[in-house]
Structure 1
Amino acid sequence: MTRYVLTVDAGLRDLRAADHLLRTCAAELHLPQGVFGCTHLVRGDRPRVAVSLAVEEETVAAGLRERLVARGYEVAEGAPDPVGRAVLYPGVDALRGTMTVAEVLSVSAIDRVTVLGGAAGPPGPGTPLVTRDHVRPQWQDGELVLTAMPAAGGALVPFEVPAPTPCCADH
């Protein structure tokens, strides 16, 4: 399936602000079903976080571009890289509470779940996943992959925590 991708560079410095921008765009611009909204770390002399929006129709992308530019955003064609961290994707709103791996895969656009350090292979379909209502898979070789880590009672949790402690928070 061909996707038309736009990158928005709002000069953001952190993932939380980029997540907020994507959710704001979804609400205020009435993004279509099936949109993918991702964050991308941009390195170089001006490190920042850019966001990309991918839609299925070229005309929708053109209209979206116009609305974003009208709001003062710098917009470019294409994604900054192929490994975006997905914030908006089909099924994200259904990923709440504890679900099995099979349920996560069946209700969302996530293609695969991997376990960090999981030498035993992929988790079984009945493995519980405690979503913490914060599921951020990443694109890897054209697949949307959720990296999880072991938790209590044989369950898994997404690797990314909803509210990370900032570096050096204790001083």
Structure 2
Amino acid sequence: MSQYVITVDTGVRDLRAADHLLLELAAELALPRGAFGCTHLVRGERPRVVFSFTTASEEPARRLTAKEYEVTAGAPDEVGRAVVYPGSDALTGTMTVAELLSASAIDRVTVLGSPGEPPPDQRLMTRSHVRPQWQTGELVLTAMPAAGGTLVPFEVPDPTPCCADH
């Protein structure tokens, strides 16, 4: 099966808004099983968040171009943050690292401040927000220790904006 990778620039600047729009577009496009949808941070004169989609056909590119989004071939970089990926919808509640790995396209889990990988029976509370990143060709979830000896994904679902109390 051929794979097509496209970059979509919608002009969105906020990561939370980008997640929401990416999920909307993925649903609208009815992406097939096995498809990936990632966010990528673009720095420079016009900072923004762009998307990459990996699909089985060129049809999503045509449909997104028709919506007047800027669509180009290929991924913008090799370190995208996966929002849609095989098994992403199954990662809810608390599960073991082994269950998370077997249920999804995530290749491995790392823990901040810890050498090596956590044991397969280590429990992880997903908070229904699991955003692994591509690292040297592997989809890697970074986790951190939490209460009760569990782990949680490093990225929180609803981060407090900087300077929220000012």
**TM-score normalised by the chain length of structure 2:** 0.97
Q: Which position in structure 2 is the counterpart of 1:17?
A: 17
Residue number in structure 2 paired with 1:170: 165
Which residue of structure 2 lines up, in the alignment, with residue 30 of structure 1? 30
C-alpha separation in 2, matches of 1:3 and 1:123: 32
The residue number in structure 2 matching 1:144 is 139
Structure 1 unmatched runs, 5+: none
Between 1:102-111 and 1:1-10, the stretch displaced more is 1-10
Q: List aligned pairs for 1:35-114, cutoff 5 A.
A: 35-55=35-55, 57=56, 60=57, 62-114=58-110
Calculate the aligned-residue CA RMSD, in Å. 1.1
Q: Distance in 1 between matches of 2:35 and 2:144?
A: 27
Specify the code of the residue in structure 1 equivalent to 2:100. V
The answer to whether residue 118 in structure 2 is matched with residue 123 in structure 1 is yes
For 2:150, the equivalent position in structure 1 comes to: 155
1:109 is aligned with what amino acid?
Answer: A
After TM superposition, the structure 1 stretch with the greater mean CA deviation from structure 2, 23-32 or 140-149, is 23-32
- C-alpha separation in 2, matches of 1:87 and 1:53: 10
The one-letter amino acid paired with 1:118 is S
Q: CA deviation at 1:39?
A: 0.3
Alpha-carbon distance between aligned partners in 2 of 1:79 and 1:14, rounded to the nearest angstrom? 19
Residue identity opposite 1:145 in structure 2 = V
Instruction: Work out the CA distance in 1 between the residues paired with 2:4 and 2:40.
Output: 16
Helix, strand or coil: the match of 1:139?
A: strand
CA apart distance, 1:2: 6.2
TM-score, structure 1 as length reference: 0.94
**Distance in 1 of aligned mates of 2:87 and 2:67:** 28
Per-residue CA deviation, residues 49-75 of structure 1 (Å, 9 max, x unaligned), is: 0011012x3xx1x21111001111110
Tell me the CA shift for residue 22 of structure 1.
Answer: 1.2
3-state DSSP of counterpart to 1:133: coil
Structure 2 portions without partners, runs of 5+: none
- Mapped partners of 1:166, 1:111: distance in 2: 30
SS of the aligned residue for 2:110 comes to strand
